[in-house]
Structure 1
Amino acid sequence: MEPLRIGKHELTTPVVLAPMAGVTNPPFRRLCREQGAGLYVCEMITARALVERHPGTAEMIAFDDDESPRSMQLYGVDPATIGRAVERIVDEDLADHVDLNFGCPVPKVTRRGGGAALPYKRRLFERIVRTAVETAGRGGLPLTVKMRIGIDDDHETFLDAGRIAAAEGAAAVALHARTAAQRYSGHADWTRIAELRDAVPAEVPVLGNGDIFAADDALAMVEKTGCDGVVVGRGCLGRPWLFGELEAAFAGRPAPTPPTLGGVAGVMRRHVELLIAHHGERKGVRDSRKHMSWYLHGFAVGSELRRELGMIDGLESLDALLARLDHDQPFPPEADGPRGRQGSPGHVTLPEGWLDDPEDATVPAGADVMNSGG
C-alpha cells in the first residue's frame, strides 16, 4: 500500500493511533512507536485550556524528544478560541500536526455543542475548520479533522462535514463509522467510510476508524472502503505490539509472533516504569492499574490475581504478582476482538434548540467553560 501523506508528513505505514483520554500519554505512545511506524496522537486537549495555559495541560502536551511528527488533537466549539490555540501551537512549536475532534460522544462535550454534535451546525463547523487551517498553515502545520457519521440515524452529518473540511483545506479527514448515539456499542458501519471516500476529492486522504482489533481488520477495511489509512483506538489497549503487526501487514510481510504471557508481563512492567517516570510514582502507579486487565485480556489468569494486579501500589508488588503468571502461556486467540469500553447506545445530550437550524453559526452559550487539561 502507498505511504500516507498528511501535509508534509509521509507515513510509510498508513496507521494512526487515536487519541484516548488517560491512555495516549507519552509512555503509551512510546510503547506503540517502538513497535511500528505511524502517527501517534496525544490525548485530546481543550482549546481553551491550551490558550489559558491550564496547569494540567503542560503534562498532556508533552512529547518524547524523538517523537516525529508530534501530533496533537484539539477540542473546541468557538472558532476564536480554536484559532488562538492553534496560534500558540505554531508560535511555540508545540506540535507538527493538529487534528480537530468532531467525534467525541461524551455527554459533557455534546451538551455544549462540541464533539460529534458540532458538524450539525454546518456554518459553525466551516468557520472552525477555516480558522484552524489558516492559522496552522502559517506555521506549515497540516490540519486534519476527525468525525462520526452524525448525531444519530436521523441526523447524519459526515458527508457534508467531509466536503466542507476538504474545501477549507483540511489535509485529511477521518471517520469513526458510528453515530454519537451508538457511542462504542454495536458495529461500525464501514460502508459509510466508502461513501466518504467517494464524496471527498481524491487528493484528500480519508481515514477509517472503528472495529480494528487485528491487522487483518485493517487490511479488510482498506479493501472494502478504499480508504487511505486506518485509525486504531480500543484495539491497541493492552496491546501496543498491534502496531508492529499492522506495519508488517501493510508491508506484505508475515505477521510477527505474538508474545507469550511472559512477554506481555515484560511490557506491563516497562509500561509501569514509564508511567512512573512521566507522572511520578504515586500518580504513575495509580494510572497503570487500568491497563492491567487490558494486557491480560484473553489469557488464563485467575480472578484473584487479576484483582490484585488492579490494585498494585508499586513496582515491588507488581514484580511479585507478575512472577505468579504462567510465563510460557501462548498468546490466546481469545485476546482478539473488542476490548475497552463498549457500553450501550443512548440519547445524545445537546444544547437546547441545537437541531432547530443547521445553518446557525452562533457559538452556544457557555461552550468554552470546560477548561481542564482535556
Structure 2
Amino acid sequence: MEHVQVTPQTRTALKIGPYEVDPPVVLAPMAGITNIAFRQLCQEYGAGLYVCEMITARAVVERHPGTMHMMTFAAGEYPRSMQLYGVDPKTMREAVKIIVGEGLADHIDQNYGCPVAKVTRKGGGAALPYKRTLFGNIVRASVEAAEPAGVPVTVKFRVGIDDGHHTYLDAGRIAEAEGASAVALHARTASQRYSGQADWSHIARLKEAVTTIPVLGNGDIFTADDALRMVAETGCDGVVVGRGCLGRPWLFGELEAAFAGRPLPEGPNLGEVARVLRRHAELLIEHDGAGKAMRDLRKHMAWYFMGFPIGSELRRSFAMVSSLAELDDLIARLDHHAPFPTDALGPRGRQGSPGKVTLPHGWLDDPDDPCVPEGADLMHSGG
C-alpha cells in the first residue's frame, strides 16, 4: 500500500472548542475498555484527545456510585473528555449542569452510534438520530447547559439505521445548528454493526454538508497509514480510533509520528508488549483493586498477543490470569525477542455479521416526533 504523506504544513490544527488537538486523533470511547488505565497507557505514547468510556446521564443525575467511579481522570489528563449517553433532553441538561458545575470534565461527547439491539429497541443509540426533532432538542439542551462553563459538546453518530434510512447528513446539520463543537461519523450503518467495510465516502459527504465545525472520521483505522488515507480521501479534520488500538496502545505513537511527517517507530517485540501488558495491569490495580483489575485484563490478552507465536496453552493461561504474581510468571515464559508480527495489523475486536436493526413499534412513522422513547434512559453501551 502506498504510504500517504501528511506534513504539519499541509494540514490545519484540529480545534474542539478552545482545545487544540494535535495530532488530530481521538480515542473512541469503548465500554469496558477506555477506562482511566487504558487512557493513561495510550497517552504515554502520543498526544490526542482520549475519551472515557460512556457514562449515562441518568446515572450522573442519580449519583450512581459505580458511575462516579468510572468518571475518574488521571492527574495530568487534559482536557478531561467524557462521553455522555442520554435520550431525554431534560436528563441530559441536568447531567451536563452537574458535570460542568462541579468541574468534572472539560469536554462532553455524545454517542448516537450504538447498534446493539437492547439499545436500539428502546429508540436509543443509532436509532435516535432518525427522530430529528428529539435529536436536536438533546443537543441543544446539552450545549446550553455546557456553554456557561465554556465546555464544548461534540456528537458522534453512524451513517443511519440501514441503507434505506440514512440519517447522518441531517444529524450533522442539526448538531452544527444547535451549537455542537464538532461531529464524528462512524462510516457504517447500524445494520452493518462492525461487519464489512466502512464507506469513507460518507465522511466526505458529511464534510461537504457541515462547514463551520470540524468533521471527524471513524471506521477501519487499524494503522497510521489508514488514518492518513482517510484524511486525504475525505478531507476530514481528524480521525477517531476505536478497535484499531485494542492491544496496541502504541498505535497513538505511530499516529503522532505519521501526522508529523516522521518515520513510524518499529512495532514492539514480544518483550516490549509484555512490559506494556504489565503496565496495564498495574494501572488497573491502582484504579480498581487487584481482583477486578485482573478479571478486566483478561479480555485484553488475545489483542495483545494477536499474531505472536506463543502457543495455545500459554494463551489459555493468560486468558485466565488471576494475580500479578501469576502474570509475572507467565510473562517470564514468553520469547521476549519474538518480533512484532506484520500480519497483526488488520481488524481486531468486534466484527460479527450484519443484521436487521431492532426498533420500537412505529419508530419510523414520524421522524419529527419529539417524544422521548420509553425506557431508553436506562440503556447504555458503546458505539
Per-residue deviation, 1:73: 0.5
Q: Which residue of 2 aligns with 1:257?
A: 266
Overall identity of the aligned pairs, in %: 70
Q: Which residue of 2 aligns with 1:12?
A: 22
**Structure 2 matches for 1:42-191, cutoff 5 A?**
42-191=52-201
User: What amino acid sits opposite 1:215 in the alignment?
Assistant: A
CA distance 1:38–1:190, shift in 2 (3 Å): same
Per-residue deviation, 1:369: 3.3
1:33 aligns with 2:26: no
User: What amino acid sits opposite 1:222 in the alignment?
Assistant: V
Q: Conserved in 2, the CA contact under 8 Å of 1:56 and 1:373?
A: no
**Structure 2 matches for 1:235-314, cutoff 5 A?**
235-314=244-323
4+ long deviations beyond 3 Å: 369-374
* Counterpart secondary structure, 2:340: coil
1:352 aligns with 2:361: yes
* Counterpart secondary structure, 1:192: helix
Between the aligned partners of 1:84 and 1:368, the Cα distance in structure 2 is: 13
Between the aligned partners of 2:173 and 2:286, the Cα distance in structure 1 is: 43
Q: CA RMSD in A?
A: 1.3
* Counterpart secondary structure, 1:282: helix
Q: Conserved in 1, the CA contact under 8 Å of 2:216 and 2:237?
A: yes
Please point out which of 194, 199, 203 is paired with 1:193: 203
Q: Which residue of 2 aligns with 1:366?
A: 375
CA distance 1:54–1:156, shift in 2 (3 Å): same
Per-residue deviation, 1:352: 1.3
Q: Which residue of 2 aligns with 1:342?
A: 351
- Which string of whole-angstrom CA distances, capped at 9 and with x for unpartnered residues, describes residues 39-63 of structure 1? 0000011110111111210111100
- Which string of whole-angstrom CA distances, capped at 9 and with x for unpartnered residues, describes residues 99-130 of structure 1? 11111111121111111100000000010011
Aligned length: 373
Please point out which of 324, 331, 341 is paired with 1:322: 331
Per-residue deviation, 1:2: 2.2
* Counterpart secondary structure, 2:92: helix
Per-residue deviation, 1:134: 1.0
CA distance 1:257–1:100, shift in 2 (3 Å): same
Between the aligned partners of 1:68 and 1:334, the Cα distance in structure 2 is: 34
Per-residue deviation, 1:373: 12
Between the aligned partners of 1:262 and 1:2, the Cα distance in structure 2 is: 38
Per-residue deviation, 1:372: 10
Q: Which residue of 2 aligns with 1:215?
A: 224
Between the aligned partners of 2:377 and 2:306, the Cα distance in structure 1 is: 38
Between the aligned partners of 1:271 and 1:83, the Cα distance in structure 2 is: 35
Q: Which residue of 2 aligns with 1:227?
A: 236
Between the aligned partners of 2:346 and 2:376, the Cα distance in structure 1 is: 37
Q: Conserved in 1, the CA contact under 8 Å of 2:30 and 2:382?
A: no
| Unpaired runs of at least 5, structure 1 | none
TM-score normalised by the chain length of structure 1: 0.98
Between the aligned partners of 1:373 and 1:354, the Cα distance in structure 2 is: 22
Q: Which residue of 1 aligns with 2:4?
A: none
Q: Conserved in 1, the CA contact under 8 Å of 2:119 and 2:380?
A: no
Between the aligned partners of 2:376 and 2:187, the Cα distance in structure 1 is: 26
Between the aligned partners of 2:309 and 2:347, the Cα distance in structure 1 is: 17
Between the aligned partners of 2:280 and 2:22, the Cα distance in structure 1 is: 26
* Counterpart secondary structure, 1:231: strand
The more displaced of 227-236 and 109-118 is 109-118
Q: Conserved in 2, the CA contact under 8 Å of 1:48 and 1:371?
A: no
Between the aligned partners of 1:373 and 1:173, the Cα distance in structure 2 is: 16
Q: Conserved in 1, the CA contact under 8 Å of 2:29 and 2:382?
A: no
User: What amino acid sits opposite 1:342 in the alignment?
Assistant: Q
